[in-house]
Structure 1
Amino acid sequence: MLIFVDAPLAERHKSTLAAGAAGDSFIFRDELPGESEQREALLKADILLGNPKPVEWLEKAVNLQWIQLYSTGFEYYRHIKIPAVVTNMQDYYSQPCAETAIAGILSLYRGAGEFAALKNKQQWVGHIIRPALQTLQNKHVIILGAGNIARRIEKILQGFDCTIRLYARRSPNAVIRTTTELEAALPAADIVIACLPGTEETKGLFTREMIAALKHNAIFCNVGRGNLLADEQALTEALMHRRIGGAVLDVTQEEPLPAGHPLWSCPNTVLSQHSGGGSTSEYEGIVACFLENLAAFKNGIPLKNIVRFDKGY
């Protein structure tokens, strides 16, 4: 098999791939000199490990039998028509994403950003900040979604004795099922955490009216997809004018977020730059998942984490 790898792997990861797939040939995109050579290599490949761009290359990659994405999201490839089976990482990033959400919320509640700024200025004003610090305990939380990330977040929040309600249209674990019910529930929420996948159903789901419904000290957190917000400017305005308590945003509508974008200047805002799924062992796990699926592929065994384009996950 000829395997094209379009992923930011270190040399140790490449060595692990070579050792785990004896008899197969690997071509690594980052070792090729230019786009023409990279595209040519992809068009020859039987298997792809990675998330190639431009995505249009895949339309010509008729030799591909299987694509293993190293992400959970696959919206960039949703409309590409190729015969290859596509797998993703599904639950792999759920725990770090959940911890990113909770870490961001706690940093706002416990003043971590303000203390970091004071440290840089070597200024001691702890007695002034103390009355403004909040705790996560007993907070009322609405989680948008009922999938893997949502369940991990829910489990963590249970340790803080939070009241938790899930929004999802079809999940039996959800108690909020319609956008009308969601908008009615928002004024009571201390925290709203979004971890919905990027589908046509979720695009623009969280509206300007929903942002306006949040109470003055509510925190909005998004570790799902940036296009969940129908109007990102409405969130920016709410933060700038301190009409809500803060935001934790792992994702935004435009990525990378350009210099000068208003979100960079918003108070009480944590921007984790779509790194919520990162960890020290991230790519070791990706390589291990690929090799496990490669063995299954060669032996005619069903692959893990097959993408269901019709369902959006």
Structure 2
Amino acid sequence: MPKIAIISRDYSAYKSALDDLQLSGELHDVELIWANEHANGAPLRDIEYALANPNIMSRYINECPNLTWLQSTWAGVNTLVNKSKRDYQLTGLKNVFGAQMREYVIAYLLYFQRHIPELITNQQQCQWQQYRIPTLQNQTMGIMGLGSIGKDVAIAAKAFGMKVYSLNATSKPAEADQHFNLAQLYEFASKVDVIVNLLPHTNQTTGICDVTFFETMRSHAIFINAGRANVINNDNDLVNALNSRSIRGAVIDVFKTEPLPAEHPFWNTPNLLMTNHTAATSQHELVFEVFKNNLRKKLQGLPLDSCINFEQGY
């Protein structure tokens, strides 16, 4: 009987869902041996399957010799991929975060498009000023890393009449009107009105948004980073682009250091909006559904969904 560990801040909800599954008679062939927010004190050597926070598990993964499968509770798994231990199946989360991400992207895109920051300032200063407000129709959204999450964003953009260009390492998603590879990054940046980064954290993607990248972007363009912080080569590159008005605005949800230090220049950069890594958060009901389906497949010896390729990093 495989031994399962749950390591997550939502461990109580996951444990309850697993208990319900067993009580209903749907599942009998597993034993839950640990359920906690932390792994301190966990019987690591006995764990065979895990539903876990990847950042926490990365600290203990080498102490789990019998682990054969780990279901991540987050989209980002680079902390596990970067470890030497790879003799187990690692599964991620696909088709879980798309709805949240499309709302996030469209909300902040409209924030700039409809001149909301200027209107708020004008109201505070009792000023009546009208703006020319173009529609999103026929504008182009560029999505860096158009995968399972990006597909929902692309569909939402097209609902507003936008064109969608993709920048991917290898794939050419059907949702995109034009495709670019990583070697065509600067050409891609020069052709779009808004850039949404959803790329995973890999060696290939680290530092690709550099000075030249921001200089190549259109002056009215918006940069939205809801993927991984590693893509920005130096945060000051983005700060300088905004201060010099080389680009119109930016929305940043992910940072190299979290929480962001009070002295970081992002706090006081004009036309830069920050959210605290909440563009698309893990909802335990959806995560458990992925875990449940993969658990059944694992017990039946079937291929698992959303397997991570350790070499590719996603």
Taking the aligned partners of 1:90 and 1:78, their CA distance within structure 2 comes to: 17
Aligned to 1:297: 298
**What runs of 5+ residues in structure 1 fail to find an aligned partner?**
none
Taking the aligned partners of 2:234 and 2:72, their CA distance within structure 1 comes to: 30
Tell me: CA distance 1:42–1:209, structure 2 relative to 1, closer, same or farther (3 Å): same
> 44, 47, 50: which one pairs with 1:45?
47
Taking the aligned partners of 1:180 and 1:253, their CA distance within structure 2 comes to: 24
Q: Which moved more, 1:211-220 or 1:251-260?
A: 251-260
Taking the aligned partners of 2:3 and 2:121, their CA distance within structure 1 comes to: 51
Taking the aligned partners of 1:257 and 1:178, their CA distance within structure 2 comes to: 31
Aligned to 2:234: 231
Aligned to 1:153: 153
Taking the aligned partners of 1:3 and 1:180, their CA distance within structure 2 comes to: 43
Taking the aligned partners of 1:181 and 1:86, their CA distance within structure 2 comes to: 31
Taking the aligned partners of 2:187 and 2:74, their CA distance within structure 1 comes to: 34
Query: How far does residue 189 in structure 1 lie from its aligned partner after superposition?
Result: 2.6
TM-score if structure 2 supplies the norm length? 0.85
Query: How far does residue 58 in structure 1 lie from its aligned partner after superposition?
Result: 0.7
Task: Kindly indicate whether the alpha-carbon contact (under 8 Å) linking 1:198 and 1:227 is maintained by their aligned counterparts in 2.
Answer: yes
> 92, 95, 103: which one pairs with 1:91?
95
Task: Kindly indicate whether the alpha-carbon contact (under 8 Å) linking 1:101 and 1:221 is maintained by their aligned counterparts in 2.
Answer: yes
Taking the aligned partners of 2:57 and 2:165, their CA distance within structure 1 comes to: 39
1:252 aligns with 2:255: yes
Query: How far does residue 238 in structure 1 lie from its aligned partner after superposition?
Result: 1.5
Task: Kindly indicate whether the alpha-carbon contact (under 8 Å) linking 1:69 and 1:86 is maintained by their aligned counterparts in 2.
Answer: yes
Tell me: CA distance 1:100–1:72, structure 2 relative to 1, closer, same or farther (3 Å): same
> 101, 106, 111: which one pairs with 1:107?
111
> 27, 32, 35: which one pairs with 1:25?
32
Secondary structure at the aligned position of 2:101 is classed as helix
1:142 aligns with 2:142: yes
Tell me: CA distance 1:170–1:303, structure 2 relative to 1, closer, same or farther (3 Å): closer
Taking the aligned partners of 1:222 and 1:248, their CA distance within structure 2 comes to: 6
Taking the aligned partners of 2:63 and 2:170, their CA distance within structure 1 comes to: 37
CA RMSD of aligned residues (A): 2.6
Taking the aligned partners of 2:311 and 2:160, their CA distance within structure 1 comes to: 37
Q: AA paired with 2:136? A: L
1:215 aligns with 2:218: yes
Tell me: CA distance 1:245–1:292, structure 2 relative to 1, closer, same or farther (3 Å): same
Considering fraction of residues, name the structure with more helix. 1
> 60, 63, 74: which one pairs with 1:60?
63
Aligned to 2:311: 310
Taking the aligned partners of 1:59 and 1:115, their CA distance within structure 2 comes to: 54
**What runs of 5+ residues in structure 2 fail to find an aligned partner?**
none
Taking the aligned partners of 1:157 and 1:36, their CA distance within structure 2 comes to: 45
CA offsets, 1:23-67, max 9 Å, x none?
A: 52242223x7xx642xx4333322211125262311111121211
Q: Percent identity?
A: 26
Secondary structure at the aligned position of 1:248 is classed as strand
CA offsets, 1:179-211, max 9 Å, x none?
A: 564323434432122221222211112221110
Tell me: CA distance 1:304–1:179, structure 2 relative to 1, closer, same or farther (3 Å): closer
Tell me: CA distance 1:113–1:4, structure 2 relative to 1, closer, same or farther (3 Å): farther
Aligned to 2:284: 283
Task: Kindly indicate whether the alpha-carbon contact (under 8 Å) linking 1:169 and 1:178 is maintained by their aligned counterparts in 2.
Answer: yes
Tell me: CA distance 1:178–1:44, structure 2 relative to 1, closer, same or farther (3 Å): closer
Secondary structure at the aligned position of 2:166 is classed as strand
